[in-house]
Structure 1
């Protein structure tokens, strides 16, 4: 699928969950991880510069719980909105309701983000899909960043790590955000999530017998939205900054460019 210039709205999730200080921000002596320096540049600045240099991107929105934190860091053309206290899924749902679709979602800690990764993701997203998710296959991640320690989701036909890029392409995609919100509300209650998603689906996932098509089919049954996983060709796309080792790796990769 191709997007013309200024056609796509992008939401950058930059908030902190209420009452849960981010350990990376605390270690760096800043209020929010989004403004943590990465090789001397706030990570949110790196993400915004990448988005502004991406041909398909038009409007950029940053979602954060304390908008004043970004004073002086966000270009005038970027809109800053308050995040929802319920969590990122609620913030995405609110943005979809306010700004509509298509909506590309990424995160402030996606400091290595590149315009070519975004364009690859958009162009490879199936036109019939309502929601697409960018992933990096395990073999690609281990090829490009062998020293990284990433969490891989293992399906029967694909092992992958997420890349913090989500495309909510059509209005039906709001149903996926609503499902995400219900899952997030029950994140401390695995049995409730099992009941919500279907115990047989989770059993297959645990036994690594759940295929990519079966997973997408289950989501479609629950939401009416067609979903697709889009594999990116650069394993570095799976690297975000969740812990000190990620920051060290990111700065090393930036220094090698």
Structure 2
């Protein structure tokens, strides 16, 4: 029986989507979106500040197309000097990038807590809560989600599209957890489905046509939906409902940049 690490590896996905220059990065004159400044710091600095204190000894990996471009970010430099931060060259897709980190870590990357380089509102408390939930539930994979009313309570434009289940409308919080190598098959949904599952065809490819039809007809609660996904993927998938809907706000475009900037400013008060 394989003994799990008591703390997860933290992986920050900071590559270019489809290898293209992000419009926010272009406007800011930087090559990668994670270097776009917000509230006086690069996006990636905020993410690192949010996760580094979750555990004092958890290894941190950043997957990015050109690791050299972030070497001047203060916390990147400090964590590299401490031997805690490792770089991995981003691959063609999300799953391939995760696979690269698993390979480069010598298979020691699990459990794995995954977030993104634009998830500037992530915190150590949230990171610990998702890991603890996954371990307690015996889950193979955990998705961080927030309910519509809690998201819009932070700003009426914080999110425009929601997944409508029979019991609630939700959005993802760009924070995921994978238990072990056997559960890594859950990531196949992203290989087939693409980032954030914005296409119905891709959702069907990833989770099955019947599941998609039931979802569209309001046949799933969040719990029954994750149970159906678990059967499809062959691993126990659970959704972790986050009370503060601010965590559903990442820096995806000009609109969400302004909202995230406002929410970060509130934290300083």
Please, which of 226, 229, 232 is the counterpart of residue 242 of structure 2? 232
Q: Distance in 2 between matches of 1:254 and 1:18?
A: 28
Cα 1:109/1:188, change in 2 over 3 Å:
closer
CA offset at residue 227 of structure 1? 0.4
**2:65 paired residue number:** 65
* Alignment check: 8 A CA contact 2:120 2:250 kept: yes
**TM-score (norm: length of structure 1):** 0.88
Find the counterpart in structure 2 of residue 15 from structure 1.
15
C-alpha distance 191-12 of structure 1, shift in aligned 2 (>3 A): closer
Distance in 2 between residues matched to 1:243 and 1:225, nearest whole Å: 33
The alpha carbon displacement at 1:239 in A equals 0.6
Gaps spanning 5+ residues in structure 1: where? Answer: none
Residue 142 of structure 1 deviates from its aligned partner by 2.0
Alignment partner, residue 194 of structure 1: 204
Q: Secondary structure at the match of 1:144?
A: coil
The answer for the alignment partner of 1:118 in structure 2 is 127
For residues 143 and 18 of structure 1, do their structure 2 counterparts lie closer, same or farther at Cα, with a shift above 3 Å needed? Answer: closer
Give the C-alpha shift of residue 53 in structure 1.
1.7
RMSD: 2.4
Work out the CA distance in 2 between the residues paired with 1:165 and 1:230: 10
State the Cα distance separating 1:123 from its structure 2 match.
2.9
- How far off is 1:96 after superposition? 3.6
* Residues 112 and 240, structure 1, Cα contact 8 Å, conserved in 2: yes
Aligned positions of 1:71-86 closer than 5 A: 71-73=71-73, 74=76, 75=78, 76=80, 77-85=84-92
1:91 aligns with 2:100: no
Partner of 2:109: 100
Q: Is the 8 A contact 1:15 1:64 kept in 2?
A: yes
The offset of 1:110, in angstroms, is 0.4
CA distance in 2, matches of 1:236, 1:57: 27
> Shift of residue 115 of structure 1?
1.5
